[in-house]
């Protein structure tokens, strides 16, 4: 399946006692697909994977794979090392792995290229490079991103540079053939789509899912009259949903709307303040 359209990095809902709320996770995943998401992402940062046990991560992956299989939807699974990639081999619903540019160590462009070449050679599925330099501390030029795109087994990128900067404009002005540029910065997703990104991975789309799907479709169909005001409204919503560390506000809103049993997050995150929740809810109303 092509890597385009709306992908949602699914949260991990918790019950009041802090355990994973499995029925709520399944219901939420089904609802997101029915409301217009083209596919889902398992175990992205929005899912709080570092706070989950190995068994919980495995079960989250299996549950979302089953939902996507039943709905004929693609699943992207976060996997950052050979062991995590091997886990994807016997899960046919997983169509790609979301793999982070090595964080903190700053290996430089040559190191990043060598890293992804090795992982792609060992991976049972194509890789989507997760480029988020304000978290990894590893900037990459458009030229380096094109070199990444040329690697066998690299199918796309989640582009989350935090801005519409010259490197982003350069890449989208001439994207490599067959290389999917998926926007990953919720607040600026509309201008990224206007520049030609074929899709997005958006945590904000847990709410107003149909509107985010409509935004992507409007830019794809060349309808700026519809896309611009919709993009402005959704940018304000995304800013409210990211007013505190993700996914705290998203969870608070989902809980307030009765879609998950609690607004709980696991440490080091803490629950969103009531004011942040209410500000996002007001924009939805």
Mean pLDDT in runs of 10 for the chain (285 residues)?
Answer: 90 98 98 98 98 98 98 97 94 96 97 98 97 97 97 97 93 94 98 97 98 98 98 98 98 98 98 98 95
Neighbouring-strand partners of residue 244: none
Whole-angstrom distance between the N-terminal and C-terminal Cα of the chain?
Answer: 35
Known active-site residue 134: no
What local confidence, expressed as pLDDT, does residue 138 receive? 97
Kindly state the helix (H) or strand (E) to which residue 40 belongs, with its residue range.
strand 39-42
What local confidence, expressed as pLDDT, does residue 225 receive? 98
The burial of 88, by beta-carbon neighbours within 10 Å (0-12 exposed, 13-18 middle, 19 or more buried), is given as buried
Q: What proportions of the chain, in percent to the nearest 5, are helix, strand and coil? A: 50, 15, 35
CA distance 238 to 242: 6
> Residue 143 carries which DSSP code?
H
Q: What dihedral angle (degrees, nearest 10) is formed by the CA atoms of 235, 240, 244, 247?
A: -70
168's torsion region: left (phi>0), alpha (psi -120 to 50) or beta?
A: alpha
Known active-site residue 158: yes
Kindly state the helix (H) or strand (E) to which residue 181 belongs, with its residue range.
strand 180-183
List the chain domain ranges: 5-232
CA distances from 189 to 183, 234, 260 (A): 6, 9, 26
Torsion sign, CA atoms 179, 183, 189, 191: negative
**For residue 9, is the peptide bond before it cis, meaning its omega torsion is within 30 degrees of 0?**
no
What local confidence, expressed as pLDDT, does residue 114 receive? 98
Candidate list 134, 158, 226, 251, residue with the active-site label: 158
Identify which of 46, 43, 47, 41 has the alpha carbon closest to the alpha carbon of residue 5. Answer: 41
**For residue 51, is the peptide bond before it cis, meaning its omega torsion is within 30 degrees of 0?**
no
Pairing relation of β-strands 154-159 and 94-100? unpaired
Supply 30's token pair. 């089904």
Q: Are 76 and 96 in contact (CB under 8 A)?
A: yes
What local confidence, expressed as pLDDT, does residue 1 receive? 53
Angle at 139 between CA 136 and CA 145, to 5 degrees: 110
Candidate list 130, 134, 226, 251, residue with the active-site label: 130
What local confidence, expressed as pLDDT, does residue 285 receive? 87
- CATH fold, domain 5-232, is TIM Barrel (3.20.20)
Tokens 């919709």 sit at which residue?
Answer: 230
């Amino acid at each position: 399946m092509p890597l385009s359209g709306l992908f949602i990095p699914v949260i991990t809902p918790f019950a009041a006692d802090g355990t994973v709320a499995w029925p709520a996770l399944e219901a939420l995943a089904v609802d997101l697909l029915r409301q217009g998401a083209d596919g889902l992402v398992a175990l992205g940062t929005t899912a709080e994977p570092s706070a989950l046990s190995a068994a919980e991560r495995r079960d989250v992956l299996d549950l979302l794979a089953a939902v996507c299989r039943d709905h004929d939807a693609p699943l992207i699974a976060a996997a950052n090392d050979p062991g995590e990639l091997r886990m994807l081999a016997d899960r046919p619903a997983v169509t790609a792995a979301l793999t982070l540019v090595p964080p903190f160590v700053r290996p430089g462009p040559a190191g990043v290229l060598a890293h992804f070449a090795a992982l792609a050679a060992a991976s049972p599925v194509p890789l989507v490079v997760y480029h988020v330099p304000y978290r990894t501390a590893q900037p990459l030029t458009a030229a380096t991103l094109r070199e990444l795109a040329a690697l066998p087994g690299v199918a796309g990128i989640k582009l989350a540079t935090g801005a519409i900067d010259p490197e982003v404009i350069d890449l989208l002005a001439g994207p490599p053939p067959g290389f999917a540029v998926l926007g990953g910065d919720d607040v600026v997703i509309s201008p990224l789509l206007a520049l030609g990104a074929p899709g997005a991975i958006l945590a904000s789309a847990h709410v107003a899912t149909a509107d985010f799907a409509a935004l992507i479709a409007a830019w794809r169909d060349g309808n700026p009259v519809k896309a611009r005001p919709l993009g402005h409204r959704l940018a304000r919503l995304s800013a409210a949903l990211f007013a505190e560390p993700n996914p705290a506000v998203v969870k608070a809103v989902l809980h307030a709307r009765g879609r998950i049993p609690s607004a709980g997050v696991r440490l080091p995150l803490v629950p969103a303040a009531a004011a942040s929740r209410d500000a996002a809810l007001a924009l939805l109303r």
